[in-house]
Amino acid sequence: MINNILSISGKQGLFKLVNQGKNMLIVESLLTGKRTPAYAHDKVVALSDISIYTNDGGDRPLADILEDIKAYTEGQPVDVKAMDDADLRKYFGQIMPDFDSDRVYTNDIRKLFNWYNQLIAAGVTEFKDNEIAEDEAAEAAEKADEEATEK
């Protein structure tokens, strides 16, 4: 579940939201475990608010893409240092074939894989909220039932 995992502009790595103070957030680095404040002037974005552009003009939530990466790699980290830009884009295309190659930059893909590696190293392996995942499973089952009854 990535609802309380944050990216803070200007600071390296990802952070876990620990507490809220007056005009600041108390965050803990996933890399070092060190707690620091994030102030109102810092650009703080929750990973659950990030999405990737697709070719159909929409976008896909980051949690879905992280789940796809986990399934594709069988929960193992991705070695992005060994890949050049073309290989990295091709590899990401195997995981998410419908990504918009014009609006999704190679640096974004590299950052996504680095975030995935940090989350796996920190022991975060569930990227979707359990309630959301259950709702999606129920919707998929309902859609399959409707398609079966139409035939």
Q: What mean pLDDT is predicted for residues 23-38? A: 90
List C-alpha distances in Å: 60 to 97, 113, 138: 12, 16, 19
The two structure tokens encoding residue 118: 């940090």
Give the DSSP letter string of 59-87: EEEHHHHHHHHHHHHTT-----TT--HHH
pLDDT, tens digit, for every residue of 37-89?
Answer: 998 888 999 898 999 999 988 899 999 999 999 999 988 999 888 889 999 99
Asked if pLDDT for residue 1 goes beyond 90, the answer is: no
- Compute the distance between CA of residue 43 and CA of residue 148 in angstroms, rounded to an integer: 48
- Compute the distance between CA of residue 124 and CA of residue 77 in angstroms, rounded to an integer: 12
pLDDT, tens digit, for every residue of 105-116?
Answer: 999 999 999 999
Residue 148, Cβ neighbours under 10 Å: how many? 8
Helix (H) or strand (E) holding 88: helix 85-95
